[in-house]
Structure 1
């Protein structure tokens, strides 16, 4: 979530007239993330989040927006989309496709506890179960081929030792295929800043714009790599065990998933190492943007390479 496209109160007035959510009280940009423009919109009826999509086009949005509506309908803690007076979720503002969603309770937690990790693991498993009845389909655009293509763009800007580590780990991933593992709808970006915690409970999962159909275990690995990570890139075992145990109270892992888990943890680290590398070396222009340290996920990956205990 960042601000690439500026929206003023004057811009917003005719937009809000197409909705039944009251009059504008406050408009505030959200300065976090790297993909879309986001604002908090407070009206006389409540508080909402307005997203302007910077890369996705209107015809690409129904998968994500209908997924949010589907999950909310099934009781998953997500920000539910708000329809305009034409009964459409997707609208337009300042030339960009837009979406209004409810503002879910809670705050972003920088240093989660084991109890909070357990709540996230349980809700993620419930989301995976609820997603089985969702009819939308979306290929993961940032899968293994994207990692390899992206890495090729930045190898010459990396330190030789770092580039060799990435080459070696991509080669290892190419020798493993996980299509035989359980598949479904995944969030694919369930970091701490995409979850609002209401105490120890999940207030809401947010920012579903990397969601797609992929291996469910991959989603668990992405989540654990952020929620259970320590400052040095290693994983806190107590938080990892809490997250995995709570997840499996809802959806136990198969034997094949357990066997693939160590390699999947590396895959999840590679996905975000490569994306941070491209953001770092080729950043997008924006009014309020933050390039995140690509070395962080390099360290996460290195710890997984050396790991022998995987908490299962």
Structure 2
């Protein structure tokens, strides 16, 4: 992610002795993203990813890191957190919580085809099922409560027409979240940020999901909607590509069949997924934090997607 906290090779040379990884050889900041400080870290034993967490606390982080370990133990392709010599997964670096995880092989597929979307859909369903017996609980920290908190922060920066859209959509999602239909949706741990740049491929083979630091417990359908809204669209317009949508949903449905309640909720949840990222990008754009390599994402991208989901019916779940 963006580098808010610079780290040099000298900085990690003594710190890393508590991990069974050997001496550090090289470290390089990762420029994409806007939440944490991430680095590619090469040691005598291999390649890893070092993350310094800029927002999450020492108390919050075990949820994410233990979830990754839980999923990896059940055959879900995710990075493995590395414990230090005390068995700790979170250790202070420059006074902030930090962790090291294994580096996945391959690269992000930024121009996905139906075959890639099918791989993602199947692994996402496998991840949801594998997380059912994960014992820890944490709500989605960028869910409805956060929307209510963040909206007043960004509304003063918005033109009247788009401000009305934001208020109306939050009211719509509020009403839906109180409905009996919403209460019927399957829930459990979700990734909640499964964009193209958070999945690795080696050719057409998916090698792993990563960046679980927006994970929480929410409806599985929300997770599917967030994923479809990124993987299965024309990036310039936000219009859904039916072939990619169908490939992802059919592959997911084969592993974990969708329910009737999910079918009825699909369009609403696509709107919720678009709203969540429109609002977070508005917040990061208008109220940015300083970082060495920070490039805020364009909020209008998800505004377009939200308008498209309000006005145009999506392909059915099944």
- TM bin, normalised by shorter chain, reads over 0.9
Contact 1:35 1:55 in 2 (8 A): yes
Structure 1 residue aligned with 2:309: 304
> Which residue number in structure 2 is paired with residue 195 of structure 1?
199
Aligned to 1:83: 83
CA distance in 1, matches of 2:113, 2:257: 22
Structure 1 residue 180: Cα displacement: 2.2
SS of equivalent to 1:68: helix
- Report the Cα distance in structure 2 between the residues aligned to 1:235 and 1:298, rounded to whole angstroms: 15
Cα distance in 2 for partners of 1:175, 1:93 equals 43
Equivalent position of 2:265 in the other structure: 260
Report 1:122-271 matches (<5 A): 122-177=122-177, 178-230=182-234, 231-271=236-276
**How many matched pairs?**
312
Q: Please state how far the C-alpha of 1:236 moved relative to its aligned partner.
A: 1.0
Residue number in structure 2 paired with 1:4: 4
Residue number in structure 2 paired with 1:31: 31
| Shift in alpha-carbon separation, 1:181–1:66, aligned structure 2, 3 A | same
Q: Which runs of 4+ in 1 moved over 4 A?
A: none
Q: Distance in 2 between matches of 1:306 and 1:29?
A: 41
For residue 241 of structure 1, report the CA deviation from its aligned partner: 0.7
Q: CA deviation at 1:169?
A: 1.5
Contact persistence 1:262–1:310 (CA under 8 A): no
2:291 alignment partner in structure 1:
286
- Name the CA distance, whole Å, in 2 between partners of 1:89 and 1:167: 40
Q: Quote the Cα distance in structure 1 between the aligned partners of 2:166 and 2:139.
A: 24
2:225 partner SS: helix
CA distance in 2, matches of 1:264, 1:56: 26
Per-residue deviation, 1:93: 1.1
1:270 deviation in Å?
Answer: 0.3
In the superposition, the TM-score normalised over structure 1's length comes to 0.98
Q: Report the alpha carbon displacement of residue 310 of structure 1 after superposing the two structures with TM.
A: 2.4
TM-score (norm 2): 0.96
- Please, what is the CA RMSD of the aligned residues? 1.0
Aligned pairs for 1:32-71 within 5 A: 32-71=32-71
CA contact (8 A) 1:179 1:215 kept: no
Q: Secondary structure at the match of 2:59?
A: helix
Structure 1 gap segments, 5+ residues each: none
Deviation digits for residues 22-47 of structure 1 (CA, Å, limit 9, x no counterpart) = 22121100001111100000112110
- Shift in Å, 1:149: 2.6
Q: 3-state SS of the aligned residue for 1:79?
A: coil
